[in-house]
Amino acid sequence: MNRIGFIGLGIMGKPMAKNLLDAGYELTVFDLFKTPVDELVAMGAGRGESNADVAAQSDIVITMVPDSPQVKDAVLGKGGVLEGAKKGMILIDMSSINPLASQEVCAKVEEAGCCMIDAPVSGGEPKAIDGTLAVMVGGKAQVFEKVLPILNVMGGSVILCGDIGAGNTTKLVNQVIVASNIAILSEALVLGKKAGVKPEAMIDAIHTGLAGSAVMEAKAPMMMDRNFKPGFRIKLHIKDLNNALSTGHEVGASLPMTATVMGMMQWLKSEGLDGEDHSALVKYYETLAGANVRR
């Protein structure tokens, strides 16, 4: 069985790594924070002392870190994955980053005699915990086939979308759609509440119709319960929308709705709310209307 290294044990990475352990994989883990490493080691994982040390002990290395600079540092930097990698190692970057950054890192990885796919995920903490994430993959088909059993442990849907960078392009498309959905759900619920209709009654009436969505099912209850514990933080969605806008600029695609929602999220950041779940986007509309969608 392949020896797997896992770098990045945050809200998403820790449960993903736990699922690999539960599936019986030999796992070595590393994170800049000691607590999640200790937790995984107590479950049976090996402790990596650095990114390079994890790579030295692994046939396959998974990275799950915040953004492009962190991926480049973890893989290409001092003490990075490539310092410890053996020829033939496969890097699975499951971080959500700029597609051009994926291509840049992949080129360096291949120069070192290794392989790489980008495989960002969607579904938030609940789906990371139960192993049903949507995994969007970019890379060579033969590399994808080799690691598919591992990805299937963490994902309920694992799709090869194209060459390297296609996974992150698809993730950006996902994040644009999710952000826009949360925004319009917030706008509509505040409208109804301001007009005197109970939010839960509106959701009950419309959620099985054309307006229903996974976003409505997951985020409307959080809004109504005032539960903004982060499954996916606003600050991370800002990062994704920034990457989407940057990619749109690079390829010549206009993203006016994305830019509008980005402005809303930047306002939330200015109010100190960027550590909350992205369902807190409703607070932008509530502030404008002077009403909230509490049950």
Residue with tokens 């044990």: 9
Which residue among 171, 193, 219, 283 is the active-site one? 171
pLDDT of residue 2: 85
Q: What are phi and psi of 165, to 5 degrees?
A: 100, -20
pLDDT of residue 1: 57
pTM of the shown model: 0.91
Q: Please tell us whether the domain made up of 169-289 is placed in CATH 1.10.1040.10.
A: yes
**Cα angle: 246, vertex 110, 12; to 5 degrees:** 55
Q: What are phi and psi of 275, to 5 degrees?
A: -90, -5
Question: What's domain 3-164's superfamily in CATH?
Answer: NAD(P)-binding Rossmann-like Domain (3.40.50.720)
Single out the residue of 100, 96, 67, 94 nearest to residue 247, CA to CA. Answer: 100
Domain boundaries, the chain: 3-164, 169-289
Cα 289 to Cα 132: distance, rounded to the nearest angstrom: 37
Q: Is 171 a catalytic residue?
A: yes
Burial bucket for residue 290 (CB in 10 Å: 0-12, 13-18, 19+): exposed
pLDDT of residue 144: 98
State yes or no: pLDDT of 274 exceeds 80. yes
Above pLDDT 90, what percent of the chain? 97
pLDDT tens-digit map of 200-248: 999 999 999 999 999 999 999 999 999 999 988 999 999 999 999 999 9
pLDDT tens-digit map of 20-74: 999 999 999 999 999 999 999 999 999 999 999 999 999 999 999 999 999 999 9
pLDDT class of 148 with cuts at 50, 70, 90: very high
Residue with tokens 């107590």: 42
Average pLDDT, the chain: 97
> How confident is the model over 100-113, as a mean pLDDT?
97
pLDDT of residue 127: 93
> How confident is the model over 154-169, as a mean pLDDT?
98
Task: Give 277's strand partners.
Answer: 233
> How confident is the model over 109-136, as a mean pLDDT?
96
